[in-house]
Amino acid sequence: MNGILDEARAALHSVWHRRWLALAVAWGVCMMGWLVVATVPNSYESRARIFVQLDDPLAEQIGVGVGDRKRDVERVRQTLTSAINLEKVIRSTRLGDGITTPKQMEEMILGLGKAVKVVSQQDKLFEISAVSTDGSLSDAESAKLAQDIVQKLIDLFREGNLAGDRGDMTDTLDFMNQQLADREKQLEVAEQHRLAFEAKYPELAQGGASLVQRLESSRAELRGIDGDIAAAQSSLAAINGQIAGTPQSIAGPGGGGAKGMLAQAQGELAAMRARGLTDSHPDVIVARNQVAQLKVAAAAEGPGGGTPNPAYSSLQSIRADRQASLQALQARRAGIQADLARVTAQQIENPEVAAEAQRISRDYDVLKQQYDKLLQDREQLRLRGQVANERSAVRFQVTDPPTTPRSPIAPNRPILLFAVLILGVGAGGGAAFAIGQLRSTFQTTAKLERAFGLPVLGAISHTLTDAGRALRRKRLKYFIAGSAALGGVFVLLIFSEFIQRGLVA
């Protein structure tokens, strides 16, 4: 520990012994360093924030969803720092002063691209920032330039989103109109071929439908008619059963009793058979015998034995209507079967004509579907274009206008000035210590003993006269004054830096 202290005292003594050299080196390093720091231009940053409103019920109604508008805004945000937009910013601000060659413009664009940032802070909030570092401008002018750059970027951001895809929409509509015109011509040619074929082969013409479609449609219709016929037959059987159980006349007062009883017995017999009783059943045998006896009695009564039954007449009318419906269905079924047979026979007899009809019908259907789809897409695009032109689907609001920089963001000149001062003092002390190490001198007796390995009996101190002590004090005052002057220059530089910042504000 004592050795370390001795070495430290020796080093301090060596530096102090050459203090004028240390002070001169410190002055030289500090002046050079402060000059370099003074040549570094200040960088001023301006910021602004934009709020983007994406909700629009009308736009969503026509198919322009929030996702589409988000992609549009993100696309404009990403292309905002493109070379074309940066060139617009340069030409509209002081950055373009003095640029005469394309190479100078390219270098300026590269520099501005590094100084500009567009950041999405939240879902609907964007921040635009720009840094201005121009040594040829004053600090106030550089701060104003940063603000102008951000303002121009905001204008480009607004123009890019308000314009939207109007140019692309116009090009798309022109392309769609051209495609529609081509499809319309092709469709007219196909329709003419189809009409000519139908005029030549009318038996294969059926409203433009293909043979396969006609066959499938006829078979499906035939299956439906078969089901309707089955239902009509069942309904007719049910009404026949009701008629069988309903008497044709009703016995009136004073006559025709046998005929009424006969009708009632016949109804009971029909009801038994409807329940599934066979002729060998005892009840059926009794009923049949009763009917036979009543027939004889009714024949003996003669005409005028009763009044007509209204229910029987109504059932007869219903049965006639259902019979007519059944006959109509059967006739329709026969017609469809005949058409199927005719078309099938035509395919068998003239397969080439049938294939030609199939090809013409298929080509026409394909062209018609394409034309209808293109027409629908064109109208939808036109509506979207009108909404984009007449009603902006994306609205902007500048929440924070471009700020006017009050202080530079770089460099941190006070810290740099202080660092240069520390570096200069350290360099002066280091130079004095290095010179002391190069010379063969011994600051302490212990160091002399270690160097020669011999004991040191004593040391003679340096004795000064009065004139020497006065000269020593004078030189010390000069040294202190020189050191204080170095610190004063540092304080003056710090003070001037803050005054310069105040002038910018």
Q: Which tens digits make up the pLDDT trace of 278-297?
A: 878 778 888 888 888 777 76
Q: Give pLDDT, residue 198.
A: 65
- State the CATH class of domain 44-169+391-400: alpha beta
Q: What is the pLDDT of residue 483?
A: 93
Where is 181: in which H helix or E strand? helix 166-200
Compute the average pLDDT of residues 97-120: 88
The span from the CA of 106 to the CA of 87, in Å, is: 9
Name the average pLDDT for the chain.
78
CB 168 within 8 A of CB 76: no
- CA gap 59, 72 in Å, rounded: 14
The residue ranking higher by pLDDT, 153 or 160, is: 153
Q: Report the DSSP beta bridge partners of residue 46.
A: 130
Burial letters for 320-344: b for 16+ Cβ neighbours within 10 Å, e otherwise? eebeebbeebeeebeebeebbeebe
On the question of pLDDT at 119 being above 90, the answer is no
What is residue 458's predicted lDDT score, i.e. its pLDDT? 75
| Beta bridge pairs of residue 400 | 49
Tell me what pLDDT residue 485 has. 94
Q: Is the pLDDT of residue 26 over 60?
A: yes
Q: How far apart are the C-alpha atoms of 60 and 383, rounded to whole Å?
A: 12
User: Which neighbouring-strand residues pair with 120?
Assistant: 126
> Cα(181)–Cα(179) distance, rounded to whole angstroms?
5
Closest CA to 132 of 163, 152, 111: 111
Is the model more confident about 238 or about 487? 487
Spatial separation of the C-alpha atoms in residues 225 and 232, rounded to whole Å:
10
In the three-class reduction of DSSP (H, G, I as helix; E, B as strand; rest coil), residue 405 is classed as coil
Amino acid at 442: F
pLDDT one-digit tens code per residue, 44-82? 999 998 887 655 544 445 444 555 556 656 666 677 888
Name which residue leads in pLDDT, 112 or 282: 112
Q: How confident is the model at residue 490 (pLDDT cuts 50, 70, 90)?
A: very high
Q: pLDDT per residue over 215-235, tens digit each?
A: 677 778 888 888 888 888 888
Q: What pLDDT shows up at residue 406?
A: 83
Residue 35, pLDDT above cutoff 90: yes
What does residue 304 show for φ and ψ, rounded to 5 degrees? Answer: 80, 25
How many whole angstroms separate alpha carbon 441 and alpha carbon 447?
A: 10
Percent of the chain with pLDDT over 90: 16
pLDDT at position 302:
47
> Which amino acid would we find at residue 89?
V
Q: Please report, in angstroms and rounded to a whole number, the separation of the first and last CA atoms in the chain.
A: 56
Mean pLDDT of the 391-420 span: 82
Whether 53 and 396 have beta carbons less than 8 Å apart is answered as yes
DSSP state of 277: -
The more confidently predicted of residues 149 and 184 is 149
Helix (H) or strand (E) holding 371: helix 351-390
pLDDT at 308: 60
Count the Cβ atoms, other than its own, within 10 Å of residue 71: 11
User: Rounded to whole angstroms, how far apart are CA atoms 331 and 449?
Assistant: 142
Tokens of 394: 């994306």
- What is the pLDDT, as a whole number, of residue 208? 45
Residue 300 has pLDDT above 50, yes or no: yes
Phi, psi angle pair for 44, to nearest 5°: -115, 135
- Asked if residue 198 lies in contact with residue 205, where contact means CB atoms within 8 angstroms, the answer is yes
Q: Which of 158, 157, 137, 156 is nearest to 405 (CA)?
A: 137
Q: Which two tokens stand for residue 408?
A: 């530079």
What is the DSSP code (8-state) at residue 96? G
Least confident range of 18-32, 158-172, 256-270, 304-318: 158-172
Instruction: Please report the DSSP string for 119-141 in residue order.
Output: EE-SSSEEEEEEEE--TTS-HHH
Query: Is 50 exceeded by the pLDDT of residue 380?
Result: yes
Eight-class DSSP state of 49? E
Domain spans of the chain, in order of start: 2-40+411-504, 44-169+391-400
Q: Which two tokens stand for residue 146?
A: 């940063």
Portion of the chain with pLDDT greater than 70, in percent: 74
Residue 20 has pLDDT above 80, yes or no: yes
